[in-house]
Structure 1
Amino acid sequence: MGAEAVGSGAAARPVDVVRPVLQHLADAGADLEGEPRRPVPELGVHALGDQLAVLAGDVLAAADARGDDVAVVDLHDRLVALRRAL
């Protein structure tokens, strides 16, 4: 997993660390479902947790439907890296 998953720089704001992860999860979910990629809307910092929960759930559901263990491992790794970065 690359640094882009958790942002860069020690002085990064939490929102700047979370948003790239949100976009990765949205892209992964779209790819798993065979849908086009779309940008994640910026709803404000108070919505980041909800967006993370929804997008992670979407990836899990799509990965489960396809039997894609690689996507589940990637999701886990990114969430662990995000937690450590915050």
Structure 2
Amino acid sequence: MSASERDQSPEFTWCDDGGRPLVKPYIQASKFHVGDKVYFNSSGGSREGGPFIIASVPSAGMYTLSLENGQAVRHGEEVEESRLEAA
């Protein structure tokens, strides 16, 4: 493993001060999965329709939503997990 690969490893942090390597906490898994039904909440906390279907999970804690017929919601924008609640 090259130094640049080691420095980007999600499992270890290499200290520049010569200290011992440490293991960082693993990123938590996403709360929802593809096919789950959820409600989308506005930034003010009010519900904005739904329920919607989780269409994809592009990264931990981020989702795209669709309607039952497969049509993208919010133009396919990724939505933060904190804005969703289980239906």
The answer to whether TM tops 0.5 is no
User: TM-score, with normalisation over the residues of structure 2?
Assistant: 0.23
| Greater helix content | 1
Structure (1 or 2) with the greater strand fraction:
2
TM-score of the two chains, using structure 1 as the length reference: 0.23
* CA radius of gyration, larger in: 2
Q: Taking CA–CA contacts closer than 8 Å with sequence separation of 6 or more, which of the two structures ends up with the larger relative contact order?
A: 1
